């Protein structure tokens, strides 16, 4: 016959392991050197803000070399900022 303490301990361990983990504290997150206005979806590459406000991506991102990717990110950050400012200015009353 099983001991009720063993059953209770097993249930509490299961409950503890099923509890989702929280997000790390802001101080535990490593600082990123990437600009905040560039959104990357890992293998899809950065998102591009078009002049009409739509968003697209670079189709051949996976085929680009690391230096091409770095250069593209730098240029996209500047262009995305300029386009976002232009879009905000056109919507302001």
Q: Widest CA span of the chain, in angstroms?
A: 77
Per-domain residue ranges for the chain?
45-93
Instruction: Check whether 83 has a pLDDT greater than 60.
Output: yes
Instruction: Check whether 75 has a pLDDT greater than 60.
Output: yes
Cα(34)–Cα(45) distance, integer angstroms: 13
25-74 tens-digit pLDDT: 666 656 666 666 665 556 778 889 998 989 998 888 889 999 999 999 99
């Amino acid at each position: 016959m099983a001991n009720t303490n063993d059953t209770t301990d097993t249930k509490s361990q299961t409950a503890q392991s099923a509890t989702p983990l929280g997000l790390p504290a802001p101080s535990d997150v490593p600082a990123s050197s990437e600009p905040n206005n560039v959104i990357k979806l890992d293998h899809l590459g950065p998102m591009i803000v078009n002049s009409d406000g739509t968003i697209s991506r670079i189709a051949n991102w996976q085929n680009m070399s690391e230096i091409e990717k770095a250069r593209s990110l730098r240029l996209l950050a500047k262009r995305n900022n300029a386009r976002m400012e232009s879009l905000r200015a056109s919507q302001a009353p």
